[in-house]
């Protein structure tokens, strides 16, 4: 493993679990058994290190796991299920501490994360919705309205404040939100597929 990747991998575990605001670069260096000079060679500041971690997380999240689902021959409901399971795998890694730190101390990066979520929904979920309509698995509601409801729900529920105030886990909040949304747009056939092959995996 290259030195630069090692720094990202090991630091990601720490900041995803503990947040980053109260973590110093000295603590990062000690946890890596590495000098601060070596870390600064690749990442001149703590903020740049955090930005690199979050951007890599989003890029890998899309390229490695989500893109194959979107490009598969699965039906629309199975694609939705695949996306939900992928998000269930990744979102629990993002602790409430990290999300609060991002929103409070690195708002520009938080906005970048929000834009990533918006782009994921607008560009990709809209394609799944159109596919599902043609397959008779999703009601023929205006796609723009469905997308807006999706975005509004995610922005309202998948936030540090909501998670913290209501004592939900990120995974629980995300899965419950998607179950409710699926119940509102899937036809009878779509619901049968959802509950037969997907819902039981959302625990």
pLDDT tens, residue by residue, 176-198 = 888 899 999 999 999 999 988 77
**Per-residue b or e along 150-173, where b marks 16 or more CB atoms closer than 10 Å to that residue's CB:** bbeebeebbbbeebeeeebebbbb
Residue at 169 is within a domain: yes
Domain with 87 in it: what CATH number?
1.10.357
pLDDT digits (tens, 9 = 90+) for 35-74: 999 999 999 999 999 999 999 998 887 778 888 998 999 9
Domain that holds residue 91: 55-201
Residue at 33 is within a domain: no
Residue at 28 is within a domain: no
* Percent of the chain residues topping a pLDDT of 70: 97
Residue at 49 is within a domain: no
Residue 33, by phi and psi: left (phi above 0), alpha (psi -120 to 50) or beta? left
Residue 86 has a pLDDT of: 83
Residue 202 has a pLDDT of: 59
Residue at 17 is within a domain: no
pTM of the model as a whole: 0.79
The domain total for the chain is 1
């Amino acid at each position: 493993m290259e030195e630069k990747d090692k720094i990202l991998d090991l630091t990601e575990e720490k900041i995803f679990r503990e947040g980053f605001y109260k973590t110093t670069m000295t603590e990062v260096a000690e946890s890596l058994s590495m000098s601060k000079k070596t870390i600064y060679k690749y990442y001149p500041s703590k903020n740049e290190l955090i930005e690199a971690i979050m951007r890599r997380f989003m890029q890998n999240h899309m390229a490695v796991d989500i893109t194959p689902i979107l490009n598969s021959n699965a039906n629309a409901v199975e694609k939705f299920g695949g996306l939900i399971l992928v998000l269930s795998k990744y979102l629990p890694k993002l602790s409430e501490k990290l999300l609060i730190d991002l929103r409070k101390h690195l708002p520009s990066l938080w906005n970048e994360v929000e834009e990533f979520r918006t782009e994921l929904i607008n560009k990709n979920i809209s394609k799944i919705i159109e596919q599902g309509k043609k397959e008779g698995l999703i009601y023929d509601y205006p796609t723009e309205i469905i997308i807006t409801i999706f975005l509004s729900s995610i922005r309202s529920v998948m936030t540090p404040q909501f998670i913290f105030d209501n004592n939900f886990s990120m995974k629980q909040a995300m899965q419950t939100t998607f179950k409710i949304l699926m119940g509102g747009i899937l036809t009878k056939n779509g619901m049968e597929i959802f509950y037969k092959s997907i819902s039981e995996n959302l625990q």
